[in-house]
Amino acid sequence: MTTLRYPEVRDRARLLEVARLGVDVDEPREYLTELVEEVAARMGTPLAMVTGLLSDAQVFLAGRGPVPEWVTEVGGTPIEWAFCGPLLRSEEARYVNDFTADAEFQDNPLVTRDGVRSYIGAPVISSRGLVLGSVCGLDLCPREFDAAHLQLVQDLADETARRIESHAFPDEYA
């Protein structure tokens, strides 16, 4: 296994939080569907998803758009392919206008194989302050995003965190 670019992904407290909230569990999450639809609609991106960052993989908790069939089968990708790695460190929404011009991601298989060109994403952070994953929009062409887009995707990520926690512990949020 290759050296992790973001070793924070294996932080024990973070992974226990991932497990506590069931982020790693492979199950349908209809309560997140409208959020990915809103990302796609408001960002104008054909692809939108909610990701969970595990120890060596990212998993897709919800998604929409022309996802390659094999990605649907897998339900995620190796962690090295995750565009949201930087969010573990910055804990702030960010975007990439054109992956082919980005030194960190230009060789990413999702770029070279599957043609993903641009991205906007925000961290999903639990109430205990730990990054669970991300909400993101992806496009197959270069895109410009602005501060309003960043705020919007962060708001959606915050709502995603609330829904994940209330689904895991409904009595606490009743």
Partner 1 sequence: MARIENYGHELPTEQDAVKALADLVGPQMAEGLWSLAVQALGMRRPVVDPAALRRVAEHVMEVGELSRVAGRSLKVRIITYEALARTVSS
Site of interaction with partner 1 (CB under 8 A): 12, 15-16, 18-20, 24-26, 54-59, 70, 73-79
Task: Please say which residue, 57 or 122, places its beta carbon nearer to partner 1.
Answer: 57
Task: Please say which residue, 76 or 86, places its beta carbon nearer to partner 1.
Answer: 76
Task: Please say which residue, 110 or 136, places its beta carbon nearer to partner 1.
Answer: 110
- Using a 10 angstrom Cβ sphere, with 0-12 exposed, 13-18 middle and 19 or more buried, the burial of residue 7 is exposed
Measured CA to CA, the distance from residue 24 to residue 109 in angstroms comes to: 23
Task: Please say which residue, 33 or 55, places its beta carbon nearer to partner 1.
Answer: 55
Q: How far is the CB of 20 from partner 1 (least distance, A)?
A: 7
Measured CA to CA, the distance from residue 90 to residue 79 in angstroms comes to: 17
| Structure-token match 């994940």, residue found | 164
Quote the DSSP letter at residue 125.
E
Whether 23 and 61 have beta carbons less than 8 Å apart is answered as yes
Measured CA to CA, the distance from residue 33 to residue 28 in angstroms comes to: 10
Q: How far is the CB of 143 from partner 1 (least distance, A)?
A: 26
Measured CA to CA, the distance from residue 66 to residue 147 in angstroms comes to: 26
Task: Please say which residue, 25 or 41, places its beta carbon nearer to partner 1.
Answer: 25
Q: How far is the CB of 110 from partner 1 (least distance, A)?
A: 11
Q: How far is the CB of 83 from partner 1 (least distance, A)?
A: 16
Q: How far is the CB of 80 from partner 1 (least distance, A)?
A: 10
